Amino acid sequence: MSMHSTSNRQESQDISQEAPADGAFTRMLKRVLLKQATISSVEKLGAQYVRIRLQGDALRDQNWTPGDKIQVSLGRGFENRTYTPVSWDAAQGCAEFIVYLHGGTATCAFFDRVQPGIPLSFMGPRSSLELTRLQQPLLFGDETCLGLAAALVQVQPHAGAAMVFEVDDIVQTSQVLRALGLRDAMVVRRQSGDVHLAQVSEAILRVALPDTGFILAGRAAAIQAIKRHLNDAGVSNRSIKAKAYWAAGKRGLD
Ligand SMILES: Cc1cc2nc3c(=O)[nH]c(=O)nc-3n(C[C@H](O)[C@H](O)[C@H](O)COP(=O)(O)OP(=O)(O)OC[C@H]3O[C@@H](n4cnc5c(N)ncnc54)[C@H](O)[C@@H]3O)c2cc1C
């Protein structure tokens, strides 16, 4: 048993392989600033989607609002990556988030092979996208936003949120959306030159109502393009909440 937990601790420090090991001061600061949890379950929802459940006393009595973020420590230094809890049970001390394995990074490799029992440090929950006060929510997102979508349905179960996702793999993402109970979401294949975004904008405007609250998340360039289309169609910025989750060529956006 002790052998097992030792190797788990080792693995958790290997997320960021290129960074030098933490010095004593950094370790002390991290103990103060970061919450410690244990990964209690790992569920592959699809080849590139993994649902992670965190458990620990540090998750108890936390004030989580759907749409909030957590920032997961990569193990060494203060570099972190941001994820969106799908749920947070402050009484039981557990929370879940969904990682999209876009590939090619140490973070993706870590979450692809992670096992229950591995410790994880994080900051948060912290506010990111406020979902609770939207009248008729309409979400545009991508593979990184399935957790956000599931959180939105929890907080607005009767609002009938409309959802559109741009993705690379329609079949895989549609299966995961169905598994999450998000059967009515529209899924559009990402195309080079972003030619699909005009179609997406038209679809969004077709289903929008006068009091629709737009939530734009995911890829920065797509958000900018959709926002421009909405503005051109007369949608005011007051009705739009936007948050870039990643941008091509940028690491650890946020
Ligand atoms: C508020 C917030 C909430 C988020 N919630 C989630 C969530 O719940 N689930 C989730 O999976 N992600 C979420 N993200 C996105 C996630 O933090 C980023 O995708 C992050 O960059 C991944 O880290 P990485 O180390 O794999 O790649 P990085 O080291 O950050 O980036 C390396 C390269 O990979 C590219 N890249 C990063 N993300 C993607 C992607 N999705 N597709 C294609 N290329 C990419 C970058 O452009 C860069 O070129 C969220 C981000 C924010 C800001």
Tell me: the pLDDT tens digits for 152-178?
Answer: 998 877 778 899 999 999 999 999 999
Of 21-35, 51-65, 209-223, where does mean pLDDT reach its minimum? 21-35
Mean pLDDT of the chain: 91
Is pLDDT at 198 greater than 80 in this prediction?
yes
Q: Which domains does the chain have, with CATH numbers?
A: 2-126 (2.40.30.10), 136-246 (3.40.50.80)
Residue with CA at minimum distance from ligand 1 atom 29? 251
Would you say the C-alpha torsion 13, 16, 17, 23 has a positive or negative sign?
negative
pLDDT tens readout for residues 129-156 = 999 888 899 999 999 999 999 999 988 7
Quote the ipTM score.
0.99
Plot region of 69 (φ>0 → left; ψ -120 to 50 → alpha; else → beta)? beta
Q: Is 147 in the pocket of ligand 1 (CB under 6 A)?
A: yes
Ligand 1 site, residue 107, Cβ cutoff 6 A? yes
For the Cβ of 126 lying below 6 angstroms from any atom of ligand 1, the answer is no
CA 63 to chain centre: 18
- C-alpha 144 to ligand 1 mean position (Å): 7
Please tell me if the CB atom of residue 84 comes closer than 6 angstroms to any atom of ligand 1.
yes
**Model pLDDT, residue 156:** 79
150 close to ligand 1 (CB < 6 Angstrom): no
Ligand 1 in reach of 112 Cβ (< 6 A): no
CA of 123 to the centre of ligand 1 (A): 17
Identity of the residue numbered 59: L
| Helices assigned H by DSSP within 13-53 | 24-33
